[in-house]
Structure 1
Amino acid sequence: MSVKLHIKKGDTVIVNAGDSKGQTGKVLKVLVEKERAIVEGVNMVSKHTKPNAKNPQGGIVKQEASIHISNLQPVDAKSGKATRVGRKEGADGKLVRYSKKSGEEIK
């Protein structure tokens, strides 16, 4: 059973807990089954890699690790601060996400 998540790929989010608290970034990927997301420039980890076609030298590569959805909040377009997400029926009859802080639709 899948759960409706409040974050989508492409959203700008702020981290509200953990080592990366306070950092903002764009969501690159959402892992729905695990309820986690990968955010650009947040929760960086060092990965040891063997030499391959993409990285012929090998060595240690810094990359983003996933972070739990509950530790992320979308950034409000107007104020630039974290906001909660609500759902309401849009003009076309579909559910749309909106910012609880400003009331504006989240694209």
Structure 2
Amino acid sequence: NQGIVSGLVLLAAYPASMDSLSESDLHVLSVYGSDDTVLDKEALEKARSLLPEDTKYIVIEGGNLAQFGYYGPQKGDGKASISLLEQQKITVDEILALIEQIM
């Protein structure tokens, strides 16, 4: 709902091909781990055209999918080379920076 929502955070995710946000005024942050082998990175790249030009993309070096939460290993995911807490701190810091930008 544009006008109600000012920002969007995508954690190892991207919009569906029918959901273009490219013309929106949303502040968008896209974060994923370099060792995430569940995320379809080709689809992620294609989805860039669906997001605003000023979308901020963060690749967490050594991060994977599972470490965005506390739900344990995910089938097909890569092995993270950073700690869960380190990945989550980077993620939280980037989300807080987005919130500060919006405010």
Normalised TM-score (structure 1):
0.22
Q: Which has the higher strand share?
A: 1
- Relative contact order, CA 8 A, sep 6+: which one is greater? 2
Q: Which has the higher helix share?
A: 2
